[in-house]
Amino acid sequence: MKNGKPNPDAEAEASENLKFTPARDGEKTINADGDILDAELLSDEDGEETDFASFPGMDEGMMAQVQEMMGKLERVEVLEKENADLRNKLGRLAADFESYRTRTGQDIEAAEGKGVSRAAEQLMPVYDDLDRALTMGSEDPAKLIPGVKAVQTKVLTIFSRLGLELTGQEGEHFDPQWHEALQAVPGDEDDRIVQVFQAGFRMGDRLVRPARVVVSRKG
């Protein structure tokens, strides 16, 4: 009071002092209205004081749980971003693989077409020889057989250049890896080819077509 009259400024200052004066150990905090508060001033991890009075019903343990949950949420956001990046990379990888598969298929088709074209080029002279043999055979049948034999020899030469080897000839020992026995007939020894119904061909260690033959059996 000033001169027997209330001093508003002094009362406001006293009120502010009561409102923000922290309680000492064992004492209570009194607000501007004279109410007793149980709030305590605690320190957080940064060394700054945290006033739990502004969070009714929350103590230090609950605040730690909240902070832990916030940390987990931040981690979830990081993982979601990493997951999105991985999905994008996977999508690009799948697109690249599809392009590679398409190009590979086209290259294989081109190689097959080129191989067929080269084989046809090799066989064209055979066609020409057969045409001449038939023309000569129609005029003189005696010349037909030598002409056909010449064509056969040329075909085998072409096959040899392509890596094909003839297998399954008369007198050859029977080998089930390369030959197919259609019949067995009596003979002087076992497993000797005595007749060839269809010649076989091999390419190195790979069978292209088995020879279909007749083999001999003793007794």
202 lies in a domain?
Answer: yes
- Pairing mode of beta strands 179-187, 211-218: parallel
CATH code of the domain in which 210 resides: 2.30.22.10
pLDDT band at 136 (very low <50, low <70, confident <90, very high): confident
171 lies in a domain?
Answer: yes
74 lies in a domain?
Answer: no
pLDDT value of residue 207: 92
CA 119 to chain centre: 35
209 lies in a domain?
Answer: yes
Instruction: Print the domain residue range for 208.
Output: 165-219
207 lies in a domain?
Answer: yes
172 lies in a domain?
Answer: yes
180 lies in a domain?
Answer: yes
Pick from 188, 187, 176, 186: which is nearest to 213 by CA?
176
Per-position DSSP letters for 138-156, written without gaps between them: HH-GGGHHHHHHHHHHHHH
Per-position DSSP letters for 143-206, written without gaps between them: GHHHHHHHHHHHHHHHHHHTT-EEE--TTPBP-TTTEEEEEEEEESSSSBEEEEEE-EEEETTE
Question: Can you tell me the distance from the alpha carbon of 213 to that of 198, in angstroms, rounded to the nearest whole number?
Answer: 7
pTM score, whole prediction = 0.47
Could you read off the pLDDT of 35-48 as tens digits, one per residue? 544 444 444 444 44
192 lies in a domain?
Answer: yes
Could you read off the pLDDT of 83-125 as tens digits, one per residue? 888 888 888 888 888 888 888 888 898 888 887 788 778 888 8
Name the domain count of the chain.
Answer: 1
